Amino acid sequence: MENKHKSLNVLTGFAIGSAIGATISLLTAPASGEETRRRIKTEVVDAQMKAMHAIEDVQSKALRLVEDVKEDVHQRTGRLKNIGRHVFEEEKTTLAQGAEDAKEVFKG
């Protein structure tokens, strides 16, 4: 789970770094004011799209992880139930045999 948080932090840092780098390069490049504003707008839209794709990817991975955990818990629960039944049957048999042995001792 901690890896998912790290992935989200990396993606967020990447998106922010990309936006900052693109803005700095646009502001320092020689161009008219109108051209610079158009470029900034384009870069912002691109950065927003990259961020949205990154968020969707993280959400998708998180949902898959939740489903995997649910399935794992379901499987482990089934195994534990089977083990519990097996132990119960063994103990039941042991107690029944003990009761039979006790009857023989008292009879005989």
pLDDT (tens digit, 9 = 90+) per residue, 17-68?
Answer: 777 777 777 667 676 778 877 877 888 888 888 888 888 988 998 899 999 9
pTM for this model (two decimals): 0.51
pLDDT in tens, 87-105: 999 999 999 999 898 888 8
Into how many domains does the chain fold?
1
Of the candidates 21, 64, 15, which has an alpha carbon nearest to the alpha carbon of residue 40?
A: 21
Q: How many CA atoms lie within 13 A of 101 on its CB side?
A: 6
Structure tokens at 53: 């794709």
Domain containing 24 equals: 2-107
Q: Residues with Cβ < 8 Å from 4, sequence gap 6 or more?
A: 58, 61, 62, 65
